[in-house]
Structure 1
Amino acid sequence: MVTKAPETRIVDSYRVACDGGEGALGHPRVWLSVSHETGYVECPYCDCKYIHKDFEGEASAA
């Protein structure tokens, strides 16, 4: 059995909403704030990583 790696999304905003993206199989919608220091935030439910476009090269390696 193989576990899929968490998704990574590049975003334009420092405030994003995550609902798991799978309709009824997702999770409750949560609002997340991308850190101005690190440039990313991870969803506590699905571990999706949201990276602000200004930090794309730096935060993707973190």
Structure 2
Amino acid sequence: MLVLLLISEIPDTLASLNCVWILFSHLNSVLLIATNRGVRNQILRISDLLFSNSRNNHPNLYI
């Protein structure tokens, strides 16, 4: 009976560990962007280029 109980809980445990790992990996990138000024400025510069291209309809790929 104990074996069946443990086997039934394994998928829940694996799903929980997988969820925690995915959340941790995303949190790691968010913390990197939030705390590293160089990375944050580079991402803001890239996003500014992407959104300015959609408004102006001409390529501006110089960084």
Structure scoring higher RCO (CA < 8 A, sep ≥ 6) equals 1
Larger helix proportion of the pair: 2
Larger strand proportion of the pair: 1
Larger radius of gyration: 2
- TM-score normalised according to structure 2 size: 0.25
- TM-score normalised according to structure 1 size: 0.25
